[in-house]
Structure 1
């Protein structure tokens, strides 16, 4: 009995010791797993390093990925020792853009989920030359450089070649350059999947040559419906959609659009991104009937809507007649002490998006200047928001403009370009005293007619 009790005690004690050892071992593994998890969060999937000996220390830069034709902010980095290092935590294959607010500069890159490195040179406050250091971007740049020369230089070389005798040293040099430019840069498609996806489909759908088979409507539909996620990150989606619409039968464009949307299924993320892109294309090219039809279709969806389409719907709603115009806080406004659009007190406000380099603006602005005294007499104010990026050009021009003007000097990267859905200049909105949109004129003549200013 005593022996049996002893054995029972021994087994019980042993189990406690074993459980204690197992607990310690499990806790140790748990700590390791937690450490690995935290490390995975802290450390990037890959890094993007951009440097220049000419950059200004302390300035921020921003890294954007791509979704269709929309930039998506990925991360921000502070210049340290003339270098920006961005940590990208998630797997990403596709186009990237580093935006540097100083001088409104951008560097375009591609990612194949590997570390990226590039440097650049400046001329004044503008980037003049980019040196791609990592293999992926260097390969892509070499391919595109040869492609540009093929499209622009090669035809001229063929013409020049006819003017020189066969023994001419210059003709020999021309022939050597023709041979060089006629060759394709070879690369391992399995090693560079994005480069292969982009270049093969760009050539097929957007820049076909005599050797490229003719693309039919069904080919484009099949490509958009069945491509990998690289379609959204490649920058190809919007131009291919524009090409698709241009080649659709003029008598029934809606039928071609419906064929495409049925194939991609607008209840899926791909289908909603395509629908969003189409609505924005209709808006850009003043295809009002098509925009209204497919915007209504988007708004009537009962399924979960992705961020891309939700953003398109929200912007459209916010800019409808009767909607309250979103406020904008001025950056460095001229001809006013007001701090924002809402601070400007007037019975009506004309919001004018323009640029000093815009020829249509130069044609229309004098007509506004001519009527500005009448406008002021009726308590109507003009607020110009410029998409200029050149400070000198902008400041020279606004000296002649009597109304309120402001600019972020970031060109189309200006925040209000997206907020107010500005695709072209000039763009007009007319607001009432409560900042509600009462008109969206297309041209200066429409502005003056709406205000009864003959």
Structure 2
């Protein structure tokens, strides 16, 4: 009997030590699953997933449909920052802190930041209140600074000083009251720099914010590291704090910003993650110069065991056909003669078309382009045919005299087509005299505009 009682107590203790994360989504739209991740550095570690249940509840006398979900977490779940992802395609997610307590939240997926409410969880309630209060106080400071720059006055200066005093008061109060909590680390690191006196010019204001942007952020803090906080701040600094209308100046600002941000990171694993993150962002922007800069000046200088060579290969492949790159070379036989793209001469520009005689869109557009190009003598055309056999192709090109006609057997698996990342046909590349890619238009109308400007 005594053994059974001890066993019962152990089971009861274990059951009580579990934690739950509950959520309500309104409106639930088409969402059916949510995934739970633990955020560590720039990475997300999958924890578990669960289905979203549709429930009808009465609110203010009206029946509304909400989506509900729940995760059960074991007693030994690590504290830190977690992410609930409800929309993988649109990157829809909501972050929260877990510190050995139940968490219950609700949000509208159309405005997660503005609508998320934590009905359970002292940690998240505290941090949410802080973010709301400090944002309101900071808004007053920023508004007065903007007003002064538009119309300098002593009244604005005095009001600025009072508003600045309030920001410091809010920051100090929350920092003090949050001692011993997980939220404390994030509250402390959110302490933003404000000029002690109102800035007399826009440049003075920006210089102050940029030069002091990372002052209160401890990059060695494990709680900040194991969250999205540091990555978000780095992204803000690189992409939003450093801006110029001049394209050349903007590139210089980007390079200086990534140097500063990466230089702040002390953990070598996290540094590698940050470099990959920034490289991916600039790759998505098709910014060849910055991708090359990051790879040469930061990625390649990482210790060999921290260099993700698969990542580097994917980036280099993605950027191989970016505007500004020399088009990847390839060769073919034409009238018994070996030809290659890099050695082609006679054109002030070149049009490279990937098409197939099995493609209905191609059969409509290729004749249009051929007619359009008859008087465009400055541009030479290379029509790369992606085919499963050469039978139809041999007859088709008889009506396209004057063009170069490489044949790529294997169609979608053709090596050249894959190098150029051709996922649909026709695909167009416009090259300069030096074979640099200057345009990659999707529509034939846009292609005609570009070719018309070159001829």
TM bin (shorter chain) = 0.3 to 0.5
Normalising to structure 2: TM-score of the pair? 0.47
